[in-house]
C-alpha cells in the first residue's frame, strides 16, 4: 500500500516538474518563432506515447513553425521534422538540397524517434558545413538547437543548388501527387493531427459505420419480409456494384457521398436477404445471430488491438490483395466443381483473410487517411465486416 502511494506521489511530482520544464521551454522557443501548442493539449493520457528526443531521450511536444506542426524537445531544444515539413517551412523543393543525389553520410548511434531507423549525419547542402541528422528509413530530419535558424539563411540560396529544369520537374511531381487520392498519398494524414481532431475523425468513422450496419439490417429485413430478395437478386446485385463504384468515385463530395453510401448499404442488405432467407427457412436462424455476434467480437478485438498498439500494418497490403485475387479465382472455380468441404475450407480461409484486412484497413485509417476520407474509411471497414460475417455464416452453417 505504501509502495503504491509512493508511486502516485512520484508520478504527481514528475508531472509537475515536466509542466514547469515545458513552460520554461515555451518562453525560449517563442523567441525563435516557434509557437508551442497549449500545455493542456499535451498533458493528457497520451502524453507518454509522444516522441522521445533521439539525443537526450526527453519527451518531444508538438509545436507550430510557420503553421507547420513539428516536434520540439523540452530539454535540449532539438527539433524533429517529418519528411516534407522542412521544405514546407522554408518553401524549398526538398527537405535537403542534395536529396536524390549522392551524398556523404556518416552513421550515428542515434535512432529515429518516428520509426526507430538509424540516423546518419549529412551536410545540408554541398556549399556549407552544416551537419544535420537524417533518418535513412522515413527521411525525417533532426536538428540540434539553433540549426533551424541557420537553415533559414541557407534556404534562401537553394535556387543556386538546383538547375531550373530540375526545379520544374520537382514542381510537376508535387502537383501530380496532390491530384492523387489521399488514401495513397496524403499530405496531412490523421496521424499528424492534434489529439482532439484525431478523436473527432475516428468517432465520425465508427458512428457512421454503425449507422450503415443498421441500414443493412433494415434492407435485409425488407428483403426477407417482402420475399423480393430472391426475386430481384440479380438486378439488385448489379445495382449494388454500380452504386458502390459511384460511392468510391464521389467519396469526397459532401452530401452526395452520404447518399450513395446509404443507398449502397441498403442494397447490400437487400441482396444479403436472399442468403439469410435460406437459413431462416430451414430453421437455422440461430446460426445467423451467432455469426453476427462472433463477427462483432472479432472486429472489436482486432480494431482495439490496432488502436492500442498503434502498429502499422501497411506491410500486409500486397499479400492481402494477392490472396484476395487468388481467393476470387478459386471461388469462381468452386461454383462449377466444388463440394461442401471445399466450400467450407474456402470460407475459413476467406474469414482469416478478412481478419487481416480489418488490421490493415484500421491501420491505414489511423495513419494514412485524410480527414476528408470518412466515407472511404467506412466503406473499407464495412466490406471487411460484411465479408467476414458471410464467411462465418458459411462455416458455422455447414451440415
What's the pLDDT tens digit per position in 226-242?
Answer: 888 888 888 899 999 99
Contact 33, 90 (CB under 8 A): no
Contact 387, 354 (CB under 8 A): yes
CA distances from 259 to 98, 181, 219, 240, 385 (A): 48, 21, 15, 13, 20
Q: Which three cell numbers stand for residue 380?
A: 473499407
Among 270, 264, 257, 262, CA closest to 217: 270
Contact 77, 31 (CB under 8 A): no
pLDDT value at residue 372: 79
Sheet strand arrangement including 131-135: 35-36, 60-65, 68-73, 79-81, 141-143, 131-135, 118-123, 105-111
What's the pTM value of the predicted model, to 2 decimals?
A: 0.55
Contact 52, 32 (CB under 8 A): no
Distance from C-alpha of 52 to C-alpha of 76, rounded to nearest angstrom: 12
Asked whether the predicted pLDDT for residue 201 surpasses 90, the reply is no
Distance from C-alpha of 39 to C-alpha of 19, rounded to nearest angstrom: 8
pLDDT value at residue 297: 96
The residue-averaged pLDDT of 76-83 equals 81
pLDDT value at residue 20: 47
The region, left, alpha or beta by phi > 0 then psi within -120 to 50, assigned to residue 38 is: beta
Question: Which of 180-184, 293-297, 309-313, 358-362 is the least confident region?
Answer: 180-184
pLDDT value at residue 165: 53
Distance from C-alpha of 133 to C-alpha of 142, rounded to nearest angstrom: 5
Asked whether the predicted pLDDT for residue 135 surpasses 90, the reply is no
Distance from C-alpha of 142 to C-alpha of 90, rounded to nearest angstrom: 16
Asked whether the predicted pLDDT for residue 136 surpasses 70, the reply is yes
pLDDT value at residue 214: 95
Asked whether the predicted pLDDT for residue 203 surpasses 60, the reply is yes
Q: Which three cell numbers stand for residue 293?
A: 455476434
What's the pLDDT tens digit per position in 103-129?
Answer: 566 788 888 888 778 888 877 765 556
129: three-class secondary structure by DSSP = coil
pLDDT value at residue 29: 46
Domain ranges, ordered by start, for the chain: 17-179, 190-217+272-396
The residue-averaged pLDDT of 380-384 equals 94
Distance from C-alpha of 245 to C-alpha of 256, rounded to nearest angstrom: 13
Question: Which of 177-191, 286-300, 316-330 is the least confident region?
Answer: 177-191
C-alpha Rg value of the chain to the nearest Å:
26
The residue-averaged pLDDT of 63-80 equals 75
Distance from C-alpha of 386 to C-alpha of 380, rounded to nearest angstrom: 10
pLDDT value at residue 199: 82
Residue 16 burial (C-beta neighbours within 10 Å; 0-12, 13-18, 19+): exposed
Mean residue pLDDT of the chain comes to 76
Asked whether the predicted pLDDT for residue 260 surpasses 90, the reply is yes
Please state, for a pLDDT cut of 90, what percent of the chain lies above it. 28
What's the pLDDT tens digit per position in 8-63?
Answer: 444 444 444 445 444 444 444 444 455 544 443 433 333 334 577 888 877 777 77
pLDDT value at residue 99: 53
What's the pLDDT tens digit per position in 326-355?
Answer: 999 999 998 888 788 888 999 999 999 999
Amino acid at each position: 500500500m505504501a509502495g503504491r502511494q509512493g508511486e502516485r506521489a512520484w508520478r504527481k511530482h514528475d508531472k509537475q516538474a515536466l509542466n514547469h520544464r515545458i513552460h520554461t521551454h515555451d518562453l525560449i522557443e517563442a523567441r525563435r518563432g516557434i509557437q508551442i501548442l497549449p500545455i493542456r493539449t499535451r498533458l493528457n493520457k497520451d502524453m507518454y506515447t509522444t516522441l522521445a528526443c533521439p539525443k537526450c531521450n526527453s519527451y518531444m511536444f508538438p509545436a507550430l513553425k510557420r503553421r507547420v506542426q513539428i516536434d520540439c524537445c523540452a530539454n535540449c531544444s532539438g527539433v524533429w521534422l517529418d519528411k516534407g515539413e522542412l521544405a514546407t517551412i522554408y518553401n524549398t523543393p526538398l527537405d535537403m538540397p542534395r536529396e536524390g543525389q549522392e551524398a556523404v553520410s556518416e552513421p550515428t548511434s542515434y535512432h529515429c524517434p518516428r520509426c526507430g531507423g538509424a540516423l546518419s549525419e549529412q551536410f545540408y547542402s554541398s556549399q556549407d558545413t552544416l551537419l544535420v541528422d537524417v533518418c535513412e528509413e522515413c527521411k525525417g530530419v533532426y536538428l540540434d538547437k539553433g540549426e533551424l535558424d541557420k537553415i533559414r539563411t541557407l534556404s534562401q540560396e537553394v535556387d543556386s543548388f538546383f538547375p531550373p529544369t530540375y526545379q520544374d520537374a520537382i514542381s510537376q511531381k508535387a502537383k501530380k501527387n496532390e491530384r492523387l487520392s489521399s488514401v495513397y498519398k496524403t499530405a496531412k494524414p490523421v496521424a499528424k493531427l492534434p489529439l482532439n481532431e484525431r478523436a473527432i475523425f475516428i468517432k465520425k468513422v465508427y458512428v457512421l459505420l454503425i449507422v450503415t450496419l443498421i441500414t443493412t439490417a433494415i434492407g435485409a429485413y425488407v428483403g426477407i419480409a417482402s420475399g423480393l430478395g430472391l426475386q430481384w437478386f440479380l438486378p439488385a446485385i448489379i445495382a449494388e456494384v454500380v452504386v458502390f463504384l459511384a460511392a468510391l468515385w464521389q467519396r469526397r463530395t459532401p452530401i452526395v457521398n452520404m447518399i450513395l453510401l446509404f443507398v449502397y448499404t441498403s442494397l447490400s442488405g437487400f441482396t444479403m436477404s436472399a442468403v439469410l432467407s435460406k437459413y431462416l427457412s430451414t430453421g437455422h436462424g440461430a446460426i445467423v445471430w451467432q455469426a453476427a455476434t462472433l463477427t462483432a467480437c472479432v472486429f472489436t478485438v482486432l480494431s482495439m488491438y490496432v488502436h492500442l498498439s498503434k502498429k502499422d500494418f501497411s506491410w500486409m497490403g500486397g499479400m492481402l490483395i494477392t490472396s484476395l485475387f487468388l481467393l476470387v479465382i478459386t471461388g469462381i472455380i468452386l461454383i462449377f466443381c466444388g463440394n461442401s468441404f471445399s466450400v467450407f475450407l474456402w470460407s475459413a480461409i476467406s474469414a482469416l483473410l478478412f481478419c487481416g484486412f480489418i488490421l490493415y484497413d484500421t491501420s491505414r485509417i489511423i495513419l494514412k487517411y485524410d480527414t476528408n476520407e470518412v466515407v472511404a474509411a467506412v466503406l473499407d471497414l464495412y466490406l471487411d465486416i460484411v465479408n467476414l460475417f458471410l464467411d462465418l455464416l458459411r462455416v458455422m452453417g455447414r451440415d
